[in-house]
Amino acid sequence: MKTSVAPHAVTLTAIAALVVFALANGLNPVLLTVSITVAATPLLLAALGEMVVEKSGVLNLGVEGMMIIGAIAGFATAVETGSPMIGLIAAAAAGAALSLVFGFLTQVLLSNQVATGLALTLFGLGLAALLGQSYAGLKPPSFPHLDIPLVSDIPVLGPILFAHDLLVYITALILLGTAWFLYRTRAGLILRAVGENHDAAHALGYEVIRIRLAAIAFGGACAGLGGAGLSLVRVPQWTEGMTAGAGWIALAIVVFGSWRPGRVALGAFLFGGVTILQLNLQAANLTALWLLVLGFLLLATHVTVRGLTTGSMHRSMLPLWAATLASAAWALAAPVSIQTQYLSMTPYICTIIVLVVMSADRLKANLNAPASLGRVFFRTG
């Protein structure tokens, strides 16, 4: 595929823009990268779990609910036992338990997946608020930091790669494990087959329902871990409704990543980056126009690189570069400060933009989407 250079060019541009932004504002690019990693971890966990669920042909819209249940279960357990690790285990267990309610309803009672996923989110948000009443304002035990000896002392690379909290490494392992499982094992092949055509998989003798229930439980456990990542590492605190749409953004990241582990990871970092950038813009009292500049820059790069590789220039290339320059000039000339609420909107608006861009190319978007996604499987014979 000739066009596959474009995502890499976009990633490199984004990284370059990040470094320039950090240096221009007197921030340490290394520390910025570390905080983006911390912000991306919960999103990546939830998105990876959901990706596996969707690969098995099930659409679970309850990620937000499972995440927040994981957040409170992990937080409460960590506070009560004093051990963040037991907290993580509890979070994964709680997420998986809740997801199995969804699994039972959709797989055994054949209920509508969209509606049941929504119910899971509503129920999870309520239950988490109920459980978390006495935990608001408490401080959780601090999460173990794992500085890998020797290599973590390497300048720049050390702190970026080898001096994170434990959850980052766990996430990295889950990422690699998921990619290996899906594309290098027989079980992964079967799971994908179930997601592509459940009737054919059933005819071959595979237990469609059991495989899907396992995938759903894995997705729930990952979402639960992601929630614990928010309440134990990222924030770290418990507040009602603290996921604030992270579960829904994880769902969008799966679409962005077109159901491929590597791209899902890229998406999680992109959204982590947007979150951290807008927080820094808020703190530095900078104009939000810079986010607009960045958006145009990335789009222009994408179109240009694709034009270069395919040999035909897209007609939107020049206008996009003009827009990039114009918005940059505007941001430099008129440093209007705006209310912080508008900056806080950016992760949500970015999600919408990303969904639109990814869905616009229908052929490419559908190429990787599991063919049986969201369809009810009724066992006959």
User: Which one of 17, 45, 94, 252 is in contact with other proteins (CB under 8 A)?
Assistant: 252
CA 266 to CA 37: how far, in whole Å?
Answer: 11
What is the b/e burial string over 79-104, where b = at least 16 CB atoms within 10 angstroms of the residue's CB? beeeebeebbbbbbbbbbbbbebbbe
Is position 349 an interface residue for other proteins (rule: CB under 8 A)?
yes
- Based on its alpha-carbon atoms, the radius of gyration of the chain, rounded to whole angstroms, reads 21
Is position 348 an interface residue for other proteins (rule: CB under 8 A)?
yes
Nearer Cβ to other proteins, position 201 or 251?
251
Q: Give the contact letters, 108-147, x = binds to other proteins (CB under 8 A), - = no.
A: -xxxx-xxx-xx--xxxxxx-xx--x--------------
CA 45 to CA 350: how far, in whole Å?
Answer: 20
Is position 255 an interface residue for other proteins (rule: CB under 8 A)?
yes
Residue keyed to tokens 């495989």: 211
- Tell me the β-bridge partners of 313: none
Query: Helices (H) and strands (E) in the chain — how many of each?
Result: 17, 2
Q: Give the contact letters, 311-340, x = binds to other proteins (CB under 8 A), - = no.
A: ----------------------------x-
Task: Kindly state the smallest distance separating residue 107's Cβ from other proteins, in Å.
Answer: 11
Q: Return the residues of window 84-103 that contact other proteins according to CB under 8 A.
A: 101
Nearer Cβ to other proteins, position 184 or 362?
362
Q: Which of left, alpha, beta for 185 (phi over 0: left; psi -120 to 50: alpha)?
A: beta
Residues contacting residue 257 through CB under 8 Å, at least 6 positions apart = 47, 51, 263, 264, 265, 266, 267
Task: Kindly state the smallest distance separating residue 270's Cβ from other proteins, in Å.
Answer: 15
Task: Kindly state the smallest distance separating residue 56's Cβ from other proteins, in Å.
Answer: 19
Determine the angle formed by the axes of helices 346-360 and 246-256, rounding to 10 degrees: 30
Query: Considering CB under 8 A, how many residues would be counted as binding other proteins?
Result: 44
Interacting residues with other proteins (CB under 8 A): 61, 101, 105, 109-112, 114-116, 118-119, 122-127, 129-130, 133, 240, 244-245, 248, 251-252, 255, 339, 341-342, 344-345, 348-349, 351-352, 355-356, 359-360, 362, 365, 378
